[in-house]
Structure 1
Amino acid sequence: MGFELSRRRRRHTGLIAGLLAAVLLPTAGYAALSGDSDPKTGPTRTAVPQVAADADGELIAAVGDIACAPTNLVYRGGEGSPAGCRENKVADLLAGQRLAAFLPLGDLQYEKGKAEEFANVYDQFFGPYKAISRPVPGNHEYQTAEAAGYYGYFGKQAEQENTYGVPGAYSYDIGSWHMIAVNSNLCSPQNRCDKGSKMMTWLKDDMAAHPNKCTLAYWHHPLWSAGHHGDYAPLTPVWNALLDGGVDVVLVSHDHNYQRFEPLGKATANSDTAMAPPVVVPEDKGIRQFIVGTGGANNYDVADEHERPDLAGRIAAKYAGTSIALFGMLFMRLAEGSYTWEFVQAQPAPIDFQDAGTGTCH
């Protein structure tokens, strides 16, 4: 379903919130995420691993573009300001949740993903969830040579090496769903991920080994985006391979905002830097892309339909504001043959933005 802050959506907020509280969060509400809370630091930082499937499926959380460096003028111990460095409050959303996994979507530690900053900042807020984290790197991680700070911090969870020679790429299962973590930094105009590349060989072999499963893929750079960074054409072969393999959902970040696209079909790149307009298709024939770059750093603007007419009618929900910023987490419940999503704002929530719904898998 697609709804973008409609009047009908607002009239039914109470009903939908109650439904999603039952479906998404059987153990706690978002307003009180843990039984113990300190008024200065917020909820106690614990996450309860979901070791057995709930009747409604497994709960995951995802977000990228997270932790400011202490050198940032508005860092303020992670409290930040209404415009940025809100990693502390975003991390609060994970407290007490019964999660199957937390998916950090890259650019986890600004500005250069240094080992000492991962240890002193990112770990301070998201370290309690490290055991259930299944990360992918962003471009800022690679501002330290070979992303050494990122790989050093996450260790085996980041899968620095695999038998295909594709660092940072791996897959695993959550309940009835197959999860594919892609290192999008490895696809560029200089290092193409076309047929025959190590990336494509790994990806196709992995999907062939996991047929007939609902599938979610995630990485850092969005293929299409109405945000500041725009489209990332080098990922076109990856998107099309995933589409052919029956992938249902793609989660990305990179642009510091929230965008949910309608289900999209085959991608076509006009050049190394420009995409042809995406084609909206029925849900059972496309991939739904979510951009969740709301992890705390700051917000980038989102272009309107006059500035990006090629994306008109393709984006079902979006928000970004450089002064009244949006920070928060995407929660998804992965069930047999379907999924449910809800974007939840970090507190205090300064704007009336909500996005929630359900989807089916191929």
Structure 2
Amino acid sequence: MPAFATRAGLAAGGLLLAAAASAAAAPAGTPAAVTVYAAGDIARCAYSDPAYSGAADTARTVAAGLAADRDAVVLTLGDHTYPHGRAQEFADCYGPTWGQFKDRTWPAPGNHEYYTPHAAPYFAYFGERAGRGYYSLELGSWHVVSLDSNLAPAEHAAQLAWLRADLAGHPARCTLAFWHHPLYSSGGHGSIPKMRDAWRLLQEAGAELVLSGHDHDYERFAPQDADGRLDRAHGMRQFVVGTGGAYPTPFLLTVKNSEMRDSGRTGVLRLRLLDGRYEWEFLESARLTPLGLPSPDRGSEVCH
């Protein structure tokens, strides 16, 4: 398995067959592609049997991908358990489903974790991988930052100061950040401004992608700035992936720059982080709406 650096960094590879072909064609010394599976809003403890939950469906999708690629990793986008992020919920609902690949998971906390004081069970469950609620790592040639969108003002200011220093100390052509509350969303919770300053710092550093959850749907936005202005040359693309298995929620008013919306499936976002570019594909685990769904989203883009 890959070795960890002191900053919780990770050297990883890509999809089993596609990465092998890519590596064969790439010049010597080109960093290997890294495959990431990402979703939030995962294990709902409304039933005693975790197999009754959508988390079991999405866990099977992720497990199949990880079995095919020993170097792929998982990013969780908050709200790992419902309703209160308690230790028993992690043991009874998250553990039997997504907990099976805990040692390959990099988490970010959601608001439901904080329904238990200080999100203590979340930090206990993930241990060093949870950091202080925020941390960074390297995946191939990409710099990846996990942030906590639940912090009080003073703690959030400290997080922003850390982020500024982290980005300055780890310049990369391609950077990805993930946290729970989306700055932009057409879902029921809507756009949440808490992380606007973090978005601005990331964009100034040339970051490419932001992943969030919170709304229980899938949405892809065009690259935009911290004030919601379309900026295909320098903006960041946001994915909302709150489709990890919890109950679905509908879209309300469509936010500008929204390019793709899907509330009829549970599933996960698969990203391939390549040298200087990325590819995305939404992998359906279960269909919630029988008819009329668009094809699952997929595409690719180059880094700035």
Tell me which moved more, 103-112 or 351-360.
351-360
Shift of residue 347 of structure 1?
3.9
1:143 matched to 2:115? The reply is yes
Q: In structure 2, what is the equivalent of residue 3 of structure 1?
A: none
Bigger Rg, structure 1 or 2: 1
User: What is the DSSP-based 3-state SS (H/G/I as helix, E as strand, rest coil) of the residue aligned with 2:106?
Assistant: coil
Contact conserved, 2:15 with 2:72, CA < 8 A, in 1?
no
Instruction: Determine the C-alpha separation between the residues in 1 that align with 2:262 and 2:133.
Output: 30
One of 267, 281, 295 as aligned partner of 1:328: 267
Shift of residue 79 of structure 1?
3.8
Q: In structure 1, what is the equivalent of residue 146 of structure 2?
A: 181
1:356 matched to 2:303? The reply is no
Shift of residue 97 of structure 1?
3.7
Shift of residue 100 of structure 1?
3.0
1:60 matched to 2:9? The reply is no
1:338 matched to 2:280? The reply is no
Bigger strand fraction: 2
Q: In structure 2, what is the equivalent of residue 292 of structure 1?
A: 241
User: What is the DSSP-based 3-state SS (H/G/I as helix, E as strand, rest coil) of the residue aligned with 1:206?
Assistant: helix
One of 107, 110, 119 as aligned partner of 2:91: 119
User: What is the DSSP-based 3-state SS (H/G/I as helix, E as strand, rest coil) of the residue aligned with 2:99?
Assistant: helix
1:279 matched to 2:255? The reply is no
Instruction: Determine the C-alpha separation between the residues in 1 that align with 2:287 and 2:266.
Output: 10
User: What is the DSSP-based 3-state SS (H/G/I as helix, E as strand, rest coil) of the residue aligned with 2:129?
Assistant: helix
Shift of residue 266 of structure 1?
3.3
Map 1:1-362 onto structure 2 (within 5 A). Answer: 25-27=15-17, 57-69=33-45, 72=46, 75=47, 77-80=49-52, 85-95=53-63, 96-98=67-69, 99-159=71-131, 167-186=132-151, 193=156, 197-267=157-227, 278-282=228-232, 284-303=233-252, 307-308=253-254, 311-312=255-256, 314-320=257-263, 325-347=264-286, 350=290, 351-362=293-304
User: What is the DSSP-based 3-state SS (H/G/I as helix, E as strand, rest coil) of the residue aligned with 1:102?
Assistant: strand
Instruction: Determine the C-alpha separation between the residues in 2 that align with 1:224 and 1:352.
Output: 21
Residues 173 and 346 (structure 1), Cα distance of their counterparts in 2 relative to 1, 3 Å cut: same
Q: In structure 2, what is the equivalent of residue 272 of structure 1?
A: none
What is the RMSD of the two structures over their aligned residues, measured on CA atoms?
2.1
Instruction: Determine the C-alpha separation between the residues in 1 that align with 2:294 and 2:201.
Output: 37
Instruction: Determine the C-alpha separation between the residues in 2 that align with 1:106 and 1:222.
Output: 11
Amino acid at match of 2:105: S
Instruction: Determine the C-alpha separation between the residues in 1 that align with 2:78 and 2:301.
Output: 25
- Aligned positions, number: 274
Shift of residue 153 of structure 1?
0.8
Instruction: Determine the C-alpha separation between the residues in 2 that align with 1:142 and 1:215.
Output: 27
Residues 318 and 119 (structure 1), Cα distance of their counterparts in 2 relative to 1, 3 Å cut: same
User: How big is each residue's C-alpha offset from its partner over 1:263-305, in whole Å with a ceiling of 9 and x where there is no partner?
Assistant: 00232xxxxxxxxxx11112x31100000000111111112xx
Residues 299 and 332 (structure 1), Cα distance of their counterparts in 2 relative to 1, 3 Å cut: same
Structure 1, gaps ≥5 residues long = 1-23, 29-52, 160-166, 268-277
Structure 2, gaps ≥5 residues long = 1-13, 19-28
Instruction: Determine the C-alpha separation between the residues in 2 that align with 1:294 and 1:200.
Output: 28
User: How big is each residue's C-alpha offset from its partner over 1:191-244, in whole Å with a ceiling of 9 and x where there is no partner?
Assistant: 584xxx212210000000111331000000000111010111121111111111
Instruction: Determine the C-alpha separation between the residues in 1 that align with 2:85 and 2:226.
Output: 34
Instruction: Determine the C-alpha separation between the residues in 2 that align with 1:296 and 1:142.
Output: 19
Contact conserved, 2:177 with 2:210, CA < 8 A, in 1?
yes
Contact conserved, 1:100 with 1:174, CA < 8 A, in 2?
no
Amino acid at match of 1:335: L
Instruction: Determine the C-alpha separation between the residues in 2 that align with 1:316 and 1:285.
Output: 17
Amino acid at match of 1:149: P
Shift of residue 54 of structure 1?
9.6
The percent of aligned pairs where both chains have the same amino acid is 38
Instruction: Determine the C-alpha separation between the residues in 2 that align with 1:101 and 1:331.
Output: 10
Scaled by the length of structure 2, the TM-score of the pair is: 0.85
Contact conserved, 1:68 with 1:297, CA < 8 A, in 2?
yes
Instruction: Determine the C-alpha separation between the residues in 1 that align with 2:30 and 2:261.
Output: 30
Residues 152 and 266 (structure 1), Cα distance of their counterparts in 2 relative to 1, 3 Å cut: closer
Contact conserved, 2:219 with 2:241, CA < 8 A, in 1?
yes
Scaled by the length of structure 1, the TM-score of the pair is: 0.71
